[in-house]
Amino acid sequence: MIQHLDKSNFDSTINNNPVVLVDFFADWCGPCTALHPTLEALATDFEGKAIISKINVDKNPELAAQFKIRSIPALFYFKNGEIVGTQNGVHSKSVISSNLNNILKN
């Protein structure tokens, strides 16, 4: 299940889980909508191993500004509270899955 993050739960989620994927998105963004089913599938595939989450940039402008989000969708990969990778745009399930597996291994 995808977790929806905001200012109230962002830090605790990032810092209390070994691997977290954050998708910065907006409801009006076509590519963001296209990416959503992929993220849903990844949330199932990585249940118990990684947290798949989303942050709505329109509802959380302070988090969008903190991470200097200029285009969406923007994927941020966190490991032990630190950013270990980013991607902009829509990517296939296999690409994102491979990135998550590599982060889990290292």
What is the average per-residue pLDDT within 84-91? 97
| Residues designated catalytic | 29, 32
Residue 106 confidence (pLDDT): 85
Note the pLDDT tens digit of each residue in 44-63.
999 999 999 999 999 999 99
**Residue 23's CATH number:** 3.40.30.10
Q: In degrees to the nearest 10, what's the CA dihedral of 24, 44, 87, 30?
A: -50
For the cut 90, the answer to whether the pLDDT of residue 3 exceeds it is yes
Note the pLDDT tens digit of each residue in 7-41.
999 999 999 999 999 999 999 999 999 999 999 99
Note down the domain range covering 33: 3-105
Q: Give the pTM.
A: 0.96
Number of domains in the chain: 1
